[in-house]
Structure 1
Amino acid sequence: MSSTTSSGPTLYKFIVYAPDKPDPSAAHHRQALQEEHMKVNEPKLKSGYFNVGGALLSEPSIGMPEDKRTLVGSFMIVEAENIDAVKEHLKKDPYYTSGKWDSDKIAIHPFYWAVGQQ
């Protein structure tokens, strides 16, 4: 599903799956980058670019307290003009530039939101 604003381009939804590279100190690495990650993404958060976003958890993390969970990547639904705009934004994210995300395994797919949309 696309959306058009009266003054802007047509925007399309994309699902982004960005797994982390295996890292024995993953929790520490993500925590060290989190503030910068949020700062870089703040304008996109305010603009509505992000529809949904968050960290992917390992299966054993289900039901565990937050400080005991293992984070294994990121997932988001974003709105952009095209897939290249999504790729360019991802390349500016600290999780990408630091090598935290496994750039060879990042997947971006156009998405049609059929149910559950606010």
Structure 2
Amino acid sequence: MGKRKEFLCILPDRPNSLSIRKKVKGGHYEGIQPLIAQGQLVDGGAIFREHPEEGKEERFEGSVVVYAAENVEEVRDIINRDIYATSGVWDIDKAQIFPYVPAVREPISKP
């Protein structure tokens, strides 16, 4: 096994996929747990049209994820196995994967 590098991935949602996203969200969270435990999923979260507000429906645009892998092919394999990809939430044809080197990695405090 070679040295892992980080990759920043922008994974847009397909149009009108919100109901699928909600339906498979639990499976997505379950599926990423081993990746987190193995250090392959470094960071990630949802992308929104605007910050969610209480009482209003969230307007998802997709996901942003930082994966640690040996190469981009391994990253694509991880993405393609995610339930968000296999169920049609993510528009894999529009996925962007960039080599990434973090400069700062500090959590922000929640209010």
Structure number with greater Rg is 1
For residue 31 of structure 1, report the CA deviation from its aligned partner: 1.2
For residue 107 of structure 1, report the CA deviation from its aligned partner: 0.5
Equivalence for 2:105: 117
Secondary structure at the counterpart of residue 85 of structure 1: helix
- The separation in 2 between residues aligned to 1:89 and 1:101, in whole angstroms, is 13
Equivalence for 1:5: none
Equivalence for 1:86: 75
Say if 2:90 is the partner of 1:101.
yes
- Give the share of equivalent positions with the same residue, in percent: 28
Structure 1 residue runs of 5 or longer lacking an equivalent are: 1-7
Q: 1:99 to 1:27 in 2, by over 3 A?
A: closer
Q: Aligned letter for 1:74?
A: S
Equivalence for 1:4: none
- The separation in 2 between residues aligned to 1:73 and 1:87, in whole angstroms, is 16
Secondary structure at the counterpart of residue 64 of structure 1: coil
Aligned CA RMSD, in angstroms, stands at 1.7
Equivalence for 2:109: none
* Count of matched residue positions in the alignment of Structure 1 and Structure 2: 106
Could you state the TM-score of these two structures normalised by the residue count of structure 1?
Answer: 0.81
Q: 1:93 to 1:86 in 2, by over 3 A?
A: same
Q: 1:63 to 1:36 in 2, by over 3 A?
A: closer
Q: Aligned letter for 2:2?
A: P
Q: Aligned letter for 1:10?
A: K
- Which of residues 4, 9, 12 is equivalent to 2:2? 9
